[in-house]
Amino acid sequence: MMQAMKNSDDISAADASSSGDETFHHELEAYLTQSAEATTWHVERVIKQSEFETTELVRGRPREGVAGRYVRKVIDAASGAGAAYEELWRAQERGESLACVPRLVECARSGNTLTVVMEHVDGCTVDALQRAIGAGERLAMLVLPPLSRAVTELHTALPRPLIHRDLKPSNVIMRDGKAVVIDFGSARMWHPDASSDTTHFLTRCYAPPEQFGFGQTDERTDVYALGKILYFCLTGEQPPNTCGAAECREKGMGETWAQLVGTACAFDPADRYASVADFGAAVSIAAESRPCASTCATGRRIPVRSMSFRLPALRNWNPLSLIPSWAGRVWNSAILVMLAMMLWMSVETIFNPMPKDAGRSMEYLFAQNILCVDPLLIIGAYLLMDRRRLRARYPKLARWGILRETVYGVITMVVVLFGSALFAVMMGWA
């Protein structure tokens, strides 16, 4: 009897051991599979770095996606930053992706470190767009209506409003006429019972008074920041801490715009627009009324120096901003194919001259094609191309403006022609 019980215990122990081994091997296999599928990200450059967050431009292939460039954020979650990314990730997992935010491809927490990888948005930030086309009503109407719709989606699409709390020109990317909002490190979900917010994540000139610790932020916090962005679009300058109607008039704004910015940026949230949708509607109404920008409420003529917020938009107007980016890429491809064909023909005619150049020397044909014709073709192709992506990547180019860049290109072509003619005379070829 005792022997039977012992044998039974041995069998039970063996079964338990076998079950434990199976569980271990299953967990090990799952871990190894996950490790094999993990993406190796290669860092191209660090975009920005702060005490709580590092943002990098990386290249790799996510487990579900195509190889290419992505943006990776490594966030110190213990500081209270980054919780909005986890909320956006959960919403995306539920099939509730928002069109106004970058698509997330990874979101994982390890201890107090939160790592988020998202799509690299191909577009132009509002501050880069301002450098490219100048400030004024046109820039305001290109940015504010789609941006208001995007922020309204943040406030209404999820179960609770997502308050961004750090809206500013560098955190808004314009893509195909739509606004994509980035950098949610400071964002938080609105809680009806909360009485205050964290105060160490803010951009001072775009942050409202309540964000400095005087109560909880809500949708009107983003209304305040949008008012400051409107000020930036109209003037091309960073907004002052106090941005009332009087300060706007001093910058030469018409009365309608001044009142709109002043209301959005009121000190007391109760005096602002109740929602971003209301603010967006007010912007559309102001654009339709289009008051004379050269006079103020008293009818006094504004000095020319005060109209600086309108003149750059005329001087640097870029018609390419009205064309979708995909159309620009198709156009550029066609231009490059044509350029390659013409450069090939240029080289070909050196070794197989046209009948009219049959008696010319090889030196003459080389100088004519390589030193004169080819530079003209390259410069002309560059001026015909859609250079928005290039200007967004290299902000120094964006400061020139499309007109100035074209004038310099034409001047260079004239210099090349004149220099080639002078060189031909000196060589006795003319």
Q: What is the pLDDT of residues 257-281, one digit of tens each?
A: 999 999 999 999 999 999 999 999 9
Chain segment 358-380, per-residue pLDDT in tens: 777 888 888 888 888 888 899 99
Residue 123 to residue 366: CA distance in whole angstroms: 41
Structural contact between residues 349 and 359, judged by C-beta atoms closer than 8 angstroms: no
Cβ-Cβ contacts under 8 Å for 124 (sequence gap 6 or more): 132, 173, 174, 175, 388, 391, 392
Kindly list the distances between the CA atom of residue 120 and the CA atoms of 70, 114, 123, 154, 324, in Å, as whole numbers in the listed order.
5, 18, 9, 19, 18
Strand 124-125 versus strand 172-175 pairing type: antiparallel
The residues that bridge with 72 in the sheet, in sequence order, are 56, 117
Strand order in the sheet with 42-49: 42-49, 53-60, 68-76, 113-119, 104-110
Instruction: Give the count of beta carbons closer than 10 Å to the beta carbon of residue 149.
Output: 16
Chain segment 66-113, per-residue pLDDT in tens: 888 999 999 998 887 888 999 999 999 999 889 999 999 999 999 999
Chain segment 300-322, per-residue pLDDT in tens: 333 333 333 333 333 344 455 55
Q: To the nearest whole number, what is the mean pLDDT of the chain?
A: 80
Cβ-Cβ contacts under 8 Å for 113 (sequence gap 6 or more): 74, 75, 76, 77
Query: Is the whole model's pTM more than 0.75, yes or no?
Result: no
Q: Say whether pLDDT at 145 is over 90.
A: yes
From the number of C-beta atoms within 10 Å of its C-beta (0-12, 13-18, 19+), residue 381 rates as middle
